[in-house]
Amino acid sequence: MTVPKRPSTTLQRSIIPIHYRLKIVPCPVNFSFLGECSIEICIAEPTFGITLNAKELNIQTATARDHLLNGYSVTATSVSYNVEEETITLEFPQVLHVGSSWILDITYIGLVNDKLNGFYRSVYTDADNNVHQLTTTQFQSTHARRAFPCWDEPAIKATFSLTLVAPQGMTCLSNMSIQSTTLLENGMQEVTFLKTPIMATYLLAWMIGDFDYIEAYTSGEFNGERIPCRVYTPVGLADQGHYSLDLAVKSVEYFSRLFNIPYPLPKLDLVAVPDFAPGAMENWGLITFRTYALLIEEYGSQDRRHEIAATVIHEISHQWFGNLVTMEWWSDLWLFEGFATHLAYIVVDELFPGWDIWSEFVKRIQEVLKHDSLRTSHPVEVGVANPSEITQIFDEVSYMKGASVLRMLSAWLGQDQLLLGLRKFIHKYMWSNANTEDLWVTLAEESKMDVPGFMRKWTRQTGYPVLSITELDESTILVRQNLFLSTGDVREEEDHIIWPVPLGLVTASDSTPRNIMMDTKELVLKVDTTQWYKFNMGQTGFYRVSYPPKTLALLGQTFGTEQLNAANRVGLLTDAAALVASGIAPTSSFLTLLKYFEDEENYMVWAEVSLRLQELLSVWLEQPTPIMNGLKEVQRRLFTKIVKRLGWEFPEGEDPATVNLRAVAIRFAGRAGDPEIVAEARRRFTAFMKQRDVTALPPDLRFPVFEIVLRTTQGVEEYEDIVNYYRETYIPGEKVVALSVLGYGSSLELVRRTLAFAMSREVRTQDILSAIATLRSSVVGRAELWNFMRHHWDVLYERHCDDIGFLDYFVLLSIESFSTLERYREVQAFFANKDTSAYDRILATCLEGIRMNILWLERDCKDVEQWLKVNGYLTIGAGTDGHERQHLSMMSSIQAGAVNGMYGHELSGHGLSNFTATTPSTTNTTASSPTSNATTATLVNGTGSVSTTTPTGSTSGASSGASTPSSGLKYPHGGIYSQHATHVRSEVYLDGLGQASEEQAQQLLQLQHDQQQHELRLQQEYQRQLQLQQQHMQQYGHSHAHGHGHGHSHGHSHGHSHSHRQFNSRPPEQRPRTLEREMELLSMSGDYEF
C-alpha cells in the first residue's frame, strides 16, 4: 500500500500568521485592485526574511513592525518572486526577533481577472436588458494568494477582518455579517465585516455587485438563537431561490442536531454567481454556486431538484466537516469531500424518503467504478505536492469513491455507529485540522472495530476487486477475488492485492444479508445453487460480481417480484455491462440480460439501462450502419413500450419518478428513431417555438424533444429556434438545456456552428463544456471537436490553464470516446511534445479508456452482430461482408485532413516508436476479412504500445505515426460514408411480432430516405474538403521542395500551433504571467478562428 506523499516545499513554520486585516479597493476602469494587508504574525526564530504565498501581485511596500516596542519598524529592502513555487520573499536590513507582537504591513496591486479564480469579475444582463457588473472570489484550492499575500495552506489557519470599498448602492458580502458601513464623499462606501473565527485561507470569500435576495430563519432550537439564511441571486431571479432556501434552513437544523454543535457563524448566505467554475464552493457563511446549481423555477424538472438538493446539502455539511474541522493537507481532500457527499445522501433520504436516493447513489457511482478500473486511476488517499496536482484530484475518485467506501464502512459498522464516531471526531478536532488516520482512530475507539486495518486497504490502493463465482455442486460455491480492470488484461504481478470484502450475501430462502468478511483470495461457501443468490445486497460494497450464466438468469427472473429492490437491479445491470466491456463475459450476455427488464417500471433502473446502452452504442458508433441500426432497434423496442404505457401528458399530482421515467423513455425511443415519437416531438416543438405554447413542452420534456428534433432534421431552422430560445430565456436551467442540446445537430455545418457559438462571448466560460459535450454523439461531431482542439490548443491552454478542471474536461470530451487505433495514435502524437503536467492524470485515463474501447470492439464486434441476427434485429442480407467489416477508423485520418482544411494544416504524427504494424504488404492494416477475428488480433499492451499481428509475420511500419492507406483512399460502408456514393441500404424494422403497419413502414422509409440524403450530402462535403486539402498539400510539398528549410516555422496569428512543428522539438517557452501579460490576455476572449 502507498502512503500519501507530503509536499516537498511548504512555507516556513517558524513564522505563523495569527490575524489578517484586509482592505480591498477595486478599480473597475483597468480591472485591477489596490490591496492593504496587515498580518499579525508570530516569529519563532530570528530571521532577516519572510516568505509567503503570492501570485500575480505587484508588491508596493512591505514593513514589519513590533507594536509593543514603541512602534519599532523595519522596511523591506527587496522583494523576490518565485513564480514556480508561487511565493514572495521579503528581505529586511535588520533581524526580526522572536516574538508574537509583530505586524507585517503590505500594500500591493492585483488583477481582477476573468479566470474564474482568485479575485475575478463577472457580468450579467437582467430581464429588462440592464447590464450588471460584479466581482467575486474563488480561493479553493490555492487561489487566495491571487488576492492577498498569505500563508495559503489549509493547516495554517488564522482569523480575518475585511473591509471592502465599493460604489454606494452595491451589495457587499463576505463570510461574516456587516459590522459598519461608511459613506465616502466620492460616491463610494466602505463596508467592514465582523472578525471571522479561525479558518483556512481558501474559505475566505467576498463579493460586490447587484443582487436580489430572499431570507428565512432557523427555529433557534439547536443554536440558541435563530440563524438568518439568505439566497442572493442576480437581479430578477430571487423567486427561483425558494427551494434552495428551504433546503438551507432544514440542513442547518439537521447538522446542528447531528453533530450537537450549533452553527458557528451569525448568518448563512447562498449566492448564485453568473460566472463560476466549480458547481459550488463551501466558503464559510458565504456559499457560492453556479446559478444552475442553486436556482430552480417552481415547475422545474425533478432531476434538477435532486441535483440541487444534493449540492446544497453537501456544501452546508462542509460548514462543520471541512470548515470547523479542516483537512491537514490536500491529500486528505477525499475524506472531507467523500463524507460531505455521503452525508448529503443521508439527509436527502431523510427529507425526501420517496426519492429512493440510494438507488440514485448506485447509479451515480458507476462512473467512478469505470474510472477506478483503469491502471491510470489513483488511490483515494493521494499525495499532492503542488497546485497543479491539487487541481487534478478534484475528481470522481475523491468525491464518489470516497463516498462509496464510507458507505461500505457505514454498512459494516452500522450507520448510527458511524455517525456517533463522526460526532466525536468533530468535537475532538473542532477549530483545528485533522487527517484521515485521525478519523479512523476515532471511529475505532467508538466502535471497537479495526477501522484503520479495514479502510487503509480501500483508500491507499488503486482499484477494486471482482468476485468470480464458481458453482462446485448444488450446495457449494467458490468465491475468488481478483483485481478488476476494464481492459481485461490483468497481469499476474498486479493481482496480488487482497481486499477485505463485506459479502452481504442473500439467498432466495433467506433475505437477511449474511455479513461475511472475505479477507482471503478464495472462499468456499455453502449456498443452494438451484435457486438464486446475490452478493453485495443493497450495493453497499465497492466491487463487481461475476455470476455463472445460470445464476444470472435466475436473478433476472426475480425482476418484478420485489425480491430485489431497484438498487440491486441497477447493480446487477451495471456489473454485467462492466464485465462485458472488460472481456470477462461476451457482450451478447448483457444484451440477453436486457430482456428481463422489459416489464421494469422503476425510473432509476431505466435510467441506468439507457446509460449502459449509450455506452455500447458509443463504442460501436463507427461500425457499419446495419449493426448500429440493429442496436438502435434494441433500444427502440425497450423504450417505446414505456412511452405507449405512460403517454405524453402529465396528470396532476403524478409521482416524480414517473415524470422522470416518461422523459427518459421519450428521449431514448426518439433517439432510436421511433417514427411516432419523432413525429410527436416535432409537433410539440413547433407548438412550443412557433405558437409559444408552453404547455406543449413541460420542463421535463424540453431536453428530450430538443434533442430528438435536432437529431432527425437536416435544416437549420430548428437549430436557430433553440439558439434564440437560449438567448431569450433568463431561467438558468433552461439556458443550460438549450445550450447542451446544440451538439446534437447532425450536419457538418451545425457542428461547426456549435463550436463557434460555444467559444463566442454569448456563452460563459463555465458553460463551454456543456455546449460541446454532446458533439461526441456523432461521427462528424467527434472528428470536428478533435480537430478544433488540436488547431486551437495554444489559445485554449493559455486562456484556461488556471481554470479549475477546464483543461481536464476539454481534453476528456475531445478524446475519451475514440475507439480506433488511428485515433489512439493521433492523441499520443499530438501530446508528445507538450507539457501535460496540468492534466496528465486525465490524459492518461483517456488513453487507457480508448485502449479499453479498442480491445472491446475487436473482441466482441462479431459476437454482437451474431446476437442481433439470431434475435431478429438485423434484416435479411443486412450483415457485413469483408469490406464492411473494415474499421471506420480508416476514415479518421481522412476526416482529420478534410476538416483541417477549414482550420489549417493537420499536425503530423511523429515520435510513435512504440507502435508496430505487422501485416502483409498488400493489405491495409485496418482491413480484415469476415473470418479474420480468428487469425488477426490488434494488441494494445499494458504499457500503452499497440501492435497488429497476422499469421504472415511481415511488417509494414507507419512512419511518423501517420495512418496512410497503402493504395488510395477507401471509404468504409455504413455510418455517414459509403464506398459507392449512390448505394445506401433501406431497412424497415418490424415490431416484436414481426409485423408492421403500412403507415409505419412508410414513415420509416421516409425517415430513412431523409437520413440517406443527409448522409450523401455530408459525404460530398467531405470529398470536396478532401480535394481541397490534397491540393493544398501538393502546393505545400512543391513550395517545401523549393527553398523552405527543415523546421522553419511560418507565423500564425493568435498563438495557434503550426502544423509543421517537429514533434521532437522543444515546446515553445511560456511567457511569464506578469500583470502586464494578464492585461494582454484579457483581450484574447473569444479569439478563435473559423
How confident is the model over 204-228, as pLDDT tens digits?
999 999 999 999 999 988 878 899 9
Q: Which domain holds residue 288?
A: 211-324
Query: Cβ–Cβ contacts within 10 Å for residue 781, how many?
Result: 24
CA distance 656 to 92: 66
CA distance 1075 to 1069: 18
Give the per-residue SS3 of 205-244: CEEEECCEEEEEECCCCCCCCCCEEEEEECCCCHHHHHHH
Q: Check pLDDT > 80 for residue 714.
A: no
Are 357 and 454 in the same domain? yes
Count Cα atoms within 13 angstroms, Cβ side, for 827: 30
pLDDT of 447 reads 95
Are 193 and 280 in the same domain? no
Are 296 and 370 in the same domain? no
How confident is the model over 739-785, as pLDDT tens digits?
999 999 989 999 999 999 999 999 998 899 999 999 999 999 999 99
Q: Check pLDDT > 50 for residue 939.
A: no
Query: Cβ–Cβ contacts within 10 Å for residue 67, how many?
Result: 12
Q: Which has the closest alpha carbon to 828: 961, 963, 964?
A: 961
Query: Cβ–Cβ contacts within 10 Å for residue 991, how many?
Result: 12
Burial of 543 (0-12, 13-18, 19+ CB in 10 A): buried
Percent of the chain with pLDDT over 90: 69
Task: Please give the full DSSP string across 302-317, using - where no structure is assigned.
Answer: HHHHHHHHHHHHHHHH
How confident is the model over 479-528, as pLDDT tens digits?
999 999 999 999 999 999 999 999 999 999 998 999 899 999 999 999 99
875-909 burial, b at 16+ Cβ within 10 Å, e below that, comes to beebbbeeebbbbbbbbbbbbbbbbbbbbbbbbeb
Q: Where in 268-399 does DSSP place strands (E)? A: 268-273, 280-281, 286-290, 326-327
What mean pLDDT, rounded, does the chain reach?
A: 83
pLDDT of 798 reads 85
Answer whether residue 75 is part of any domain.
Answer: yes
pLDDT of 976 reads 26
pLDDT of 679 reads 96
Mean pLDDT score, 163-181: 97
Count of structural domains, the chain: 5
Mean pLDDT score, 466-475: 96
N-to-C CA span, the chain: 50
Give the per-residue SS3 of 37-49: EEEEEEECCCEEE
How confident is the model over 965-1020, as pLDDT tens digits?
333 333 233 222 222 332 223 233 233 333 334 454 455 445 545 554 554 555 45
Q: Which has the closest alpha carbon to 103: 55, 155, 38?
A: 38
CA distance 795 to 660: 40
CA distance 451 to 412: 10
Are 232 and 299 in the same domain? yes
Answer whether residue 79 is part of any domain.
Answer: yes
Strand-pairing partners, residue 522, are: 480
CA distance 410 to 416: 8
Answer whether residue 186 is part of any domain.
Answer: yes
Contacts of 649-657 with C-beta under 8 Å, sequence gap 24+, read 650/698, 650/700, 655/354, 656/302, 656/305, 656/354, 656/355, 657/302, 657/354, 657/355, 657/356, 657/602, 657/603, 657/604
Query: Cβ–Cβ contacts within 10 Å for residue 491, how many?
Result: 11
Mean pLDDT score, 371-390: 84
Q: Which has the closest alpha carbon to 644: 992, 356, 355, 301?
A: 992
Placement of cell 427518459 in the chain: 664
What does each C-alpha distance from 457 to 443, 463, 483, 877 come to in angstroms? 16, 10, 13, 54
Q: Are 65 and 105 in contact (CB under 8 A)?
A: yes
pLDDT of 1024 reads 59
Q: Check pLDDT > 50 for residue 1059.
A: no
Instruction: Please state which of the ranges 282-286, 376-380, 570-574 shows the lowest mean pLDDT.
Output: 376-380
Q: Are 507 and 535 in contact (CB under 8 A)?
A: no
pLDDT of 352 reads 93
Q: Which residues contact 989 (CB under 8 A, 6 or more apart)?
A: 629, 633, 636, 873, 875, 996, 1004
3-state secondary structure of 1083: coil
Q: Are 108 and 58 in contact (CB under 8 A)?
A: yes
Are 199 and 76 in the same domain? yes
Q: Identify the helix (H) or strand (E) that includes residue 442.
A: helix 436-447
pLDDT of 560 reads 82
Measured at the CA of 606, the angle between CA 605 and CA 611, to 5 degrees, comes to: 100
User: What's the gap between Cα 434 and its chain centre?
Assistant: 28
Q: Check pLDDT > 70 for residue 956.
A: no
Residue 114 is part of a domain; what is its CATH number? 2.60.40.1730
CA distance 407 to 342: 7
From the candidates 40, 56, 282, 315, give the one annotated as an active-site residue. 315
Answer whether residue 877 is part of any domain.
Answer: no
Instruction: Please state which of the ranges 206-210, 343-347, 836-840 shows the lowest mean pLDDT.
Output: 836-840
Backbone angles phi, psi at 351, to 5 degrees: -75, -35
Rg of the chain (C-alpha set): 30
Backbone angles phi, psi at 16, to 5 degrees: -125, 130
Are 341 and 449 in the same domain? yes
Answer whether residue 349 is part of any domain.
Answer: yes
Q: Is 318 annotated as a binding residue?
A: yes
Are 427 and 474 in the same domain? no
Domain boundary among 208, 238, 267: 208
Answer whether residue 433 is part of any domain.
Answer: yes
Q: Check pLDDT > 60 for residue 316.
A: yes
CA distance 735 to 718: 16
Mode of pairing for the β-strands spanning 32-43 and 15-27: antiparallel
Q: Which has the closest alpha carbon to 291: 252, 248, 249, 241?
A: 241
Q: Which has the closest alpha carbon to 514: 529, 526, 522, 497?
A: 526
Percent of the chain with pLDDT over 70: 79
Mean pLDDT score, 525-546: 97
Q: Where in 789-941 does DSSP place strands (E)? A: 916-917, 937-940
How confident is the model over 255-284, as pLDDT tens digits?
999 999 999 999 999 999 999 988 899 999
Mean pLDDT score, 431-460: 96
Answer whether residue 187 is part of any domain.
Answer: yes
pLDDT of 183 reads 96
Are 423 and 282 in the same domain? no
Placement of cell 477485505 in the chain: 500
Mean pLDDT score, 166-192: 96
Are 389 and 335 in the same domain? yes
pLDDT of 1056 reads 36
Q: Check pLDDT > 50 for residue 1076.
A: no
pLDDT of 1063 reads 31
Domain boundary among 159, 182, 208: 208
Q: Check pLDDT > 80 for residue 942.
A: no
Q: Are 16 and 1067 in contact (CB under 8 A)?
A: no
Burial of 687 (0-12, 13-18, 19+ CB in 10 A): middle
Amino acid at 837: S
Residue 804 DSSP label: T
Q: Which residues contact 697 (CB under 8 A, 6 or more apart)?
A: 684, 685, 687, 688, 705
Q: Are 39 and 17 in contact (CB under 8 A)?
A: yes
Answer whether residue 423 is part of any domain.
Answer: yes
Count Cα atoms within 13 angstroms, Cβ side, for 599: 8
Top-confidence range, 4-8, 347-351, 1047-1051: 347-351
pLDDT of 804 reads 60
Mean pLDDT score, 392-403: 83
Mean pLDDT score, 23-41: 94
Mode of pairing for the β-strands spanning 268-273 and 286-290: parallel
Q: Which has the closest alpha carbon to 665: 640, 632, 695, 702?
A: 640
Q: Check pLDDT > 50 for residue 926.
A: no
Mean pLDDT score, 98-106: 94
Are 250 and 286 in the same domain? yes
Domain boundary among 528, 561, 594: 561
Q: Are 792 and 827 in contact (CB under 8 A)?
A: no
pLDDT of 1013 reads 56
Mean pLDDT score, 35-55: 96
CA distance 258 to 252: 10
Placement of cell 432510436 in the chain: 672
Q: Which residues contact 686 (CB under 8 A, 6 or more apart)?
A: none
Give yes or no: 728 in active site: no
Are 395 and 265 in the same domain? no
Are 396 and 358 in the same domain? yes
